[in-house]
């Protein structure tokens, strides 16, 4: 007789206590292999894959897609293959299984690779559950006997909404009005969106921030970017290198405040965060050890992390430990922003769009490429002199990138 095992959502690390089931890759009755990915869950840090430590047949899926599951709560039950039970118990005692991909495992990487290679395509492939967040959408689909797997989401985020279901069943589109019967798209505040909300609220509550800004002639910066394009150095990499050099001159801004201890801790290293907009919302990947990197090295790491962020595969460790943040909101076509500090950091540098504007050069009016730079800083770590000094240094480097040579 097969023995049924209940696999519970494992300890996620990073202080996380729950995760939302984004989708299932298996269904009841499907065969599964040891370490086969069975679900995709979204934590407050990232979207990660969940492997199951049993071989057998799926007996129960304990949560629907869109449900929030607490750490330690049942996730999936597997009717184990006879003869595999004791082997699993031995592996589990040795540290195998029961971890999320991206959070580490007790088994060596080679062993995990062998396990993955041993799976058959039939065992590894499973139906991808549709991503539905609202229970009202599920109820509407059930009422009309509609299989959500056949519904094509209209939004880029892949979430199936009420309008998608109504389109699939041929219902007339709702007429917008101002009464309580109007269509409302309810999006639960969970996962990454909840983490962003919590962090920004805490920043506004705890940090007495101030903002200062300056316009700068970025013509020289654009020319430097063009000259270094073949070395993989883009605009963001140059701005990151300038930012790091500025923090070396004004270490007050590379600090954190410990209120309980009554201390300001100036950090001797720079872990540079950068804001990245993704389909799942705003995330801030962190370039660790940015103070040791050249512009080319920064460019490579920024590109790598941005790619992982867009794919939703950033490991949780890549989203923590930042000491200062760089925010290039100019990519959205705006000039300025009163940015919110990424708690518990002490500052965030913002860069607006670079546009052609009239500018006085050597007493003559000329058309130059101009940008607005803004610095939001924690007024507890420094006064306006240090903040203004940092921003002026950054502006000088933007206008004359060769200024960086003095700090190499």
pTM over 0.75: no
Nearest CA among 301, 281, 284, 282 for reference residue 292: 301
Rg (CA), the chain: 26
Q: pLDDT band at 126, cuts 50/70/90?
A: very low
> Minimum mean pLDDT among 21-25, 98-102, 379-383: which range?
98-102
**Cβ partners under 8 Å of residue 367, min gap 6:** 356, 357, 358, 359
User: What mean pLDDT value characterizes the chain?
Assistant: 82
Q: Are 194 and 18 in contact (CB under 8 A)?
A: no
Supply the residues annotated as catalytic. Answer: 379
**H/E stretch holding 117:** helix 109-118
Reported residue count of the chain is: 408
The whole-number average pLDDT for the span 135-154 is 78
Q: pLDDT band at 14, cuts 50/70/90?
A: low
- pLDDT of 235-292, one tens digit each? 999 999 999 999 999 999 999 999 999 999 999 999 999 998 887 777 899 999 999 9
Cα 393 to Cα 242: distance, rounded to the nearest angstrom: 9
Is the dihedral angle over the CA atoms 156, 158, 163, 169 positive or is it negative?
Answer: positive
The alpha carbon torsion through 390, 380, 192, 335 (nearest 10 deg) reads: -40
**H/E stretch holding 191:** helix 191-206
Q: pLDDT band at 44, cuts 50/70/90?
A: low
Question: In terms of DSSP H, where are the helices of 209-252?
Answer: 219-227, 235-249
Domain 192-407: CATH superfamily, name plus number: Chloramphenicol acetyltransferase-like domain (3.30.559.10)
| pLDDT, position 19 | 83
> Minimum mean pLDDT among 167-171, 276-280, 292-296: which range?
167-171
Query: With 80 as the cut, is the pLDDT of residue 293 above it?
Result: yes
Six-digit token string for 312? 């939703």
Coil, strand, or helix at residue 360?
Answer: strand
| pLDDT, position 92 | 44
Higher pLDDT residue, 107 or 217? 217
Six-digit token string for 152? 């094509």
Cα 97 to Cα 139: distance, rounded to the nearest angstrom: 35
In the chain, what are the domain boundaries?
Answer: 3-124, 135-169, 192-407
Q: Which CATH architecture has domain 135-169?
A: Irregular (4.10)
Higher pLDDT residue, 325 or 91? 325
Nearest CA among 45, 73, 44 for reference residue 61: 73
- pLDDT of 51-97, one tens digit each? 888 899 999 999 998 888 888 899 999 998 655 544 444 444 444 34
**Residue 381: Cβ within 10 Å count:** 22
Q: Are 54 and 82 in contact (CB under 8 A)?
A: no
| pLDDT, position 119 | 43
DSSP string, 282-330: EE--EETTGGG--HHHHHHHHHHHHHHHHHT---GGGGS--SEEEE-GG
Cα 270 to Cα 248: distance, rounded to the nearest angstrom: 9
Query: With 80 as the cut, is the pLDDT of residue 387 above it?
Result: yes
The whole-number average pLDDT for the span 149-174 is 75
Q: pLDDT band at 15, cuts 50/70/90?
A: low
Query: With 60 as the cut, is the pLDDT of residue 102 above it?
Result: no
Six-digit token string for 289? 């050890």
Coil, strand, or helix at residue 239?
Answer: helix
Report percent pLDDT > 90 for the chain: 49
Question: DSSP letter at 60?
Answer: E
**H/E stretch holding 215:** strand 209-217
Cα 76 to Cα 32: distance, rounded to the nearest angstrom: 11
Q: pLDDT band at 383, cuts 50/70/90?
A: very high
Nearest CA among 274, 270, 319, 317 for reference residue 299: 274
**Cβ partners under 8 Å of residue 160, min gap 6:** 130, 131, 132, 137, 148, 151, 153
| pLDDT, position 408 | 60
Higher pLDDT residue, 47 or 304? 304
Cα 359 to Cα 211: distance, rounded to the nearest angstrom: 24
- pLDDT of 182-198, one tens digit each? 667 777 777 767 777 88
Fold of the domain built from segment(s) 3-124 = OB fold (Dihydrolipoamide Acetyltransferase, E2P) (2.40.50)
């Amino acid at each position: 007789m097969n023995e049924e095992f209940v696999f519970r959502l494992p300890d996620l690390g990073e202080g996380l206590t729950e995760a939302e089931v984004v989708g299932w890759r298996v269904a009841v009755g499907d065969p599964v292999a040891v370490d086969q990915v069975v679900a995709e869950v979204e934590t407050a840090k990232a979207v990660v894959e969940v492997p199951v430590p049993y071989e057998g047949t799926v007996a129960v899926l304990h949560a629907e897609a869109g449900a929030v599951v607490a750490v330690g709560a049942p996730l999936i039950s597997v009717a184990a293959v006879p003869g595999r039970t004791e082997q699993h118990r031995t592996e589990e005692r040795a540290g195998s299984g029961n971890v999320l991909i991206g959070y580490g495992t007790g088994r060596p990487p080679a062993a995990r690779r062998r396990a993955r290679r041993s799976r058959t395509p039939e065992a590894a492939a499973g139906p991808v559950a549709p991503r539905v967040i609202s229970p009202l959408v599920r109820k509407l689909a059930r009422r009309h006997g509609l299989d959500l797997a056949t519904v094509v989401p209209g939004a880029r985020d892949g979430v199936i909404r009420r309008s998608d279901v109504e389109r699939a069943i041929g219902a007339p589109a709702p007429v917008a009005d101002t009464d309580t019967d109007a269509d409302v798209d309810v999006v639960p505040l969970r996962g990454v969106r909840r983490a962003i909300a919590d962090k920004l609220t805490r920043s506004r509550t705890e940090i007495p921030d101030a903002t200062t800004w300056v316009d700068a002639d970025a013509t020289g910066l654009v020319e430097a970017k063009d000259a270094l394009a073949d070395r993989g150095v883009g605009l963001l990499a140059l701005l990151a290198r300038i930012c790091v050099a500025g923090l070396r001159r004004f270490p007050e801004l590379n600090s954190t405040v410990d209120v309980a201890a009554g201390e300001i801790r100036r950090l001797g290293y720079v872990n540079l965060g950068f804001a990245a907009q993704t389909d799942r919302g705003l995330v801030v990947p962190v370039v660790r050890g940015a103070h040791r990197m050249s512009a080319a090295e920064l460019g490579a790491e920024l590109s790598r992390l941005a790619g992982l962020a867009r794919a939703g595969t950033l490991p949780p460790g890549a989203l923590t430990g930042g000491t200062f943040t760089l925010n290039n909101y100019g990519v959205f076509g705006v000039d300025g922003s009163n940015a919110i500090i990424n708690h518990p950091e002490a500052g965030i540098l913002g860069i607006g769009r670079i546009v052609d504007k009239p500018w006085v050069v050597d007493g003559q009016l000329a058309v130059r490429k101009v940008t607005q730079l803004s610095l939001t800083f924690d007024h507890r770590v420094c006064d306006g002199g240090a903040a203004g000094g940092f921003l002026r240094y950054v502006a000088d480097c933007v206008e004359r990138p060769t200024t960086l040579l003095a700090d190499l």
